[in-house]
Amino acid sequence: MAKFPPLLLLTFIFTLFPLVLSYNNGIGKPTPPLGWNTWNTFGCNINETLIIKTIDMMVKTGLRDVGYEYIVIDDCWQEMERDSTLRLQADKKRFPNGIPYLVNYAKLNGLKLGIYSDVGKKTCQGRPGSFEHYEIDAKTFAEWGIQYLKLDFCNLASGQYEQPWIYYSEMSKALNQTGKPILYSICNWGDKDPWKWAPQISNMWRVTHDIFPVYRWMMHIVSVMNSIANYSGPYSWNDPDMLEVGVNWTIAGGLTIKLSENESKAHFSLWSILNAPLILGNDLLNMPQWVYNIISNREVIAINQDPNVVQGRLMETIQENTFDGFCYALPGFICKYTEIYVKRLSLNRFAVVLFNRGDAEIESDIRYKSEKMLVLWDKHLGVSSTQLFMVRDLWLRKNIGVFSTKFETITPIEPHSAQMFLLTPM
């Protein structure tokens, strides 16, 4: 039997490995994208003016300079029919100047335009999908100057749902054939474990069904993210869906549901440390100051954008009187559900999120209490207790001090809230 010389074998393994772990289709940065998407606030109620005003706001508020880059137009931008040459066309009433006009407007403002289509025959809102038109659509998007494509998962034929990778790969090939760097975002809701096949053909893949501004659903998404941390890396990211910071949902009876400020901070901290794309879903034209303060925190965003490009890990969960994350304590008893997340950063630094998950239905639920939390160097970071770290609170934006062995939060962390720290070796 032929034997590989050991060096050749090693070279072979090391050249193959990055191919499997990362998918560099020329998009530039290996870190997750930052941007904004129309869907979570506006649904189908979108038009050219909204996009122009949002681009203006990205610039005016300084969010562009914080790092937000992609403006993504989700479903409902299309006419109901393709044109006579079979190309997708923008809804003429809502987008009278067409998509290239918006691409250009974004470009003039230092931003990139993204768009949405569907792997099946129709989009989820019944517009024409890309099925059997992957090449012509990829070509059209490339010619328009689109730099990000989100491809949804509605309206395949039933048998085709068994092997979604076939159809998503076809679009991947078509995008690559254009020779243009287009960030490719697969949106198949976590069906058939996309983290196992999507890293080879795309930059990001949704891990669950759609997010909405309800704490417990957000926690479900976080649990899924924790179970697949290994699959995230340079140029390829697990996608827990868009940010719900500042998103209001009006439901039956005119009731509004939204995340509280504490929940929103925890949400942003977790998305950041979990190497998730940071795609805003809120209305930038009507943005309360507290929302702006969260989404513009450069220090939290820097954790997400660290050049190591790894997903942070859940290092410890402490649960008391809970089962499957639900509090079963009788009145008078207290439940506890805390989590410690760690991300190893460049330059031997660490990011830490201390999270009082306290998974009650409402924030004021008295069955959970505020908790002080403790990080131990050896147990949670895997470094020697003698190591000195400067600990910086990233939400207070303040250095707390230099510590060895461990760090305990100065203030207790309320249920549904997180504190986030940067540890720099001294």
| 152 contributes a contact to ligand GLA by CB under 6 A | yes
The pattern of x and - marking residues 32 through 61 that bind ligand GLA according to CB under 6 A reads -------x----------------------
Angle in degrees, 0-180, between the axes of helices 98-108 and 134-144, rounded to the nearest 10: 40
The pattern of x and - marking residues 64 through 83 that bind ligand GLA according to CB under 6 A reads ----------xx--------
The yes-or-no answer on residue 210 being catalytic is yes
Q: Which is nearer to ligand GLA, 125 or 305 (CB)?
A: 125
Compute the C-alpha angle 301/304/307, nearest 5°: 115
Cβ at position 205, least distance to ligand GLA in Å: 12
| 155 contributes a contact to ligand GLA by CB under 6 A | no
Q: Which of 210, 316, 365, 393 binds ligand GLA (CB under 6 A)?
A: 210
Cβ at position 168, least distance to ligand GLA in Å: 14
Neighbour tally for 271: CB within 10 Å: 26
Q: Which is nearer to ligand GLA, 48 or 75 (CB)?
A: 75
Cβ at position 71, least distance to ligand GLA in Å: 15
Among the listed residues 75, 152, 306, 359, the single catalytic one is 152
Do 247 and 295 form a contact (C-beta atoms < 8 A)? no
Cβ at position 23, least distance to ligand GLA in Å: 21
Q: Which two tokens stand for residue 39?
A: 């869907």
Burial state string for 131-163 with b = 16 or more CB within 10 A and e = fewer than 16 = bebbbbbbbbbbebbbbbbbbbbbbbeeeeeee
In a 13 Å sphere around the CA of 299, the CA atoms on its Cβ side amount to 17
Q: How many residues bind ligand GLA (CB under 6 A)?
A: 9
Q: Which of 151, 187, 221, 335 binds ligand GLA (CB under 6 A)?
A: 187
Q: Among 19-27, 119-127, 214-222, 411-419, which window interacts with ligand GLA (CB under 6 A)?
A: 119-127
Cβ at position 21, least distance to ligand GLA in Å: 26
Q: Which of 22, 61, 125, 405 binds ligand GLA (CB under 6 A)?
A: 125
Q: Which residues pair with 340 in a beta bridge?
A: 316, 354
Q: Which residues pair with 249 in a beta bridge?
A: 257
Burial state string for 283-303 with b = 16 or more CB within 10 A and e = fewer than 16 = bbeebeeebbebbbbeebbeb
The closest of 215, 216, 290 to 246, measured between CA atoms, is 290
Q: What share of the chain is helix, strand, coil (3-state, %, to 5)?
A: 35, 25, 45
The yes-or-no answer on residue 306 being catalytic is no
Active site residues: 152, 210
Point out which residues bind ligand GLA (CB under 6 A). Answer: 39, 74-75, 123-125, 152, 187, 210
